[in-house]
Chain A
């Protein structure tokens, strides 16, 4: 049997014990402990390390649904969505989409957005260290160039929009005791997750601010992003929002594109 085939069969056997057929078994030394038992060690190693990697990203989701529920969902996720890269730290990006289609979670409609929030938190935490745009950098830009300016968000900045009050749900999860019920029908949320220095942070932002930042993130001019934000809220104050996010170090320094 060629190496390619061996590795493909080995991979299949890890996710499905029945894939260990007679033909595949014949390439291993028999006698003593059975091949099926020996394969259990690998299945256990792989399932444990992949599941633990995903579960570690979703502590608030775990709090909301309980450890057993999350473990059950993650187990199914791992089998149907094995990692596609050699770094376990970036595994689990599609878990929110998985949970949105996961039948046992159908009555928890806010859960996919909570998972998206936690993934954004993890990605902000592990984002590349890029330099922020400083207020003086912008002061050096001639005023006539401003409308065509394309400000970019730093690699750590993630924007989230939800029909559910994510900030309140996060506070509820982080409280020492989860007393009573939280009303999830109190309106949606716009959030920014980012990491100015070493500590990841979550900020509630307004809808127009969200539209403005999303426009910039997607590569649009400052003018276009401002117009869209003003359509959502005619009191949108470009100068104030710019100043706020320069202070927060949301934008990426000019140049230095990798």
Chain B
């Protein structure tokens, strides 16, 4: 009955055969088991499975059908304080039980002192921040005995004290710690709009060899008396501009596992599957074009 976690952690399941997957949400537990849709993998926030009961029950059933990615929101890797040990312990318990093919969290912070704000708050891209972030990535990777992915954020305010671009900051964290990158293409689009960055230059600048997953989601416009911001709301379909940018990213990065994220106003499962089909079509098209060019 008891498994040896040390041994198990060395057997990381392979990446999915079909790259396009979807986030599994509580609303779709029954549907996904009944419909068994053609998707490459599922992803969940581990924090929602720290307790027992219904959530773990359904995750176990869904895991029998699909490869799993665990995408955390609570490690607060960018905080000027060490990652919480209890959070890591609970997280590792899930890794041992559900054997995800990869695990990730964000290039952001949410905890300051003993307050956890549960949002992906922006980091100044300085040498000091890089040091703190890398310390926490290393603590996490050491505790899990495997590499994690770090995801580029959406942000709504930019620091004048930045010492490097966002992609340089992320590349450097990946180089120092050996971690991989989860590239959120919607977040790049949001950053380009909110901060006047060239989205294609961002994709060209990121270290392609490190990218192991892509995220796609819908965003929302927010109007102020002095201008407009895009907010990463995960509550609607992926926008056409972001699909275009995704095509550009896939051409550069290849068939990377791609996840459709949808967390608010969650529609029927078939809508999410439809979005993942669209991502798969783009992957297939780019693959065929590359093959024809050889």
B121 at the interface (CB under 8 A from A): yes
Q: How many A-B residue pairs have CB under 8 A?
A: 142
Chain B residues near A82 (CB-CB < 8 A): 115-117
Q: Is B167 an interface position by the 8 A CB rule?
A: no
Determine whether A175 belongs to the interface, using a CB cutoff of 8 Å to chain B.
no
CA separation between A26 and B119, bound complex, in Å?
A: 23
| Residue B187 CB within 8 A of the other chain | no
Give the CA-CA distance A136 to B132 in the complex, in Å. Answer: 54
Most A CB atoms within 10 A — which of B55, B110, B118, B121? B118
Whether the Cβ atoms of A89 and B115 lie closer than 8 Å is no
Q: Which of B74, B114, B160, B225 contacts A84 (CB 8 A)?
A: B114
Q: Determine the main DSSP class of B at the interface with A.
A: mixed
Range for the number of chain B residues in contact with chain A: 35 or more
A11 and B159 contacting across the interface, CB-CB below 8 Å: no
Q: Is B240 at the interface (CB under 8 A from chain A)?
A: no
A85 near B84: Cβ-Cβ < 8 Å: yes
Cβ–Cβ contact B112 & A11, under 8 A? yes
Q: Determine the distance from Cα of A179 to Cα of B227 in the docked complex, in whole angstroms.
A: 50
User: Residues of A contacting B86 with CB < 8 Å?
Assistant: 85
A241 to B250, CA, bound (A): 64
Looking at A29-37, A140-148, A180-188, A214-222, the stretch in contact with chain B turns out to be A29-37
In the complex, which residues of chain A have a beta carbon less than 8 angstroms from the beta carbon of B57? 198
- B124 contacts across to A, CB distance below 8 A: 3, 6, 27
**A17 CB within 8 Å of chain B:** no
Interface-facing stretch out of B44-52, B140-148, B267-275: B44-52
Please state if B117 and A46 are interface contacts (CB–CB under 8 Å).
Answer: yes
C-alpha spacing A128/B93, complex, angstroms:
12
Are B157 and A28 closer than 8 Å at their CB atoms? yes
Interface flag for B109 (CB, 8 Å): yes
With beta carbons under 8 angstroms apart, the residue of A2, A45, A53, A127 that contacts B119 is: A45
| Complex interface: chain B residues within 8 A of A128 (CB) | 51-52
> Once the chains are docked, how many angstroms separate the CA of A127 from the CA of B159?
42
How far is it, in angstroms, between the C-alpha of A42 and the C-alpha of B160 when the chains are bound? 18
Check if A87 is an interface residue, CB within 8 A of chain B. yes
B residues adjacent to A (C-beta < 8 A): 47-48, 50-57, 74-76, 79-80, 84, 86-87, 90, 109-119, 121, 123-124, 126, 128-129, 132, 156-161, 195, 222, 224-229, 231
Pairs across A and B, CB under 8 Å, 6 listed: A37-B226, A38-B156, A38-B157, A42-B156, A88-B118, A195-B53
User: Which 7 interchain pairs have the tightest Cβ spacing?
Assistant: A86-B74, A126-B51, A129-B52, A38-B157, A82-B115, A11-B112, A7-B112
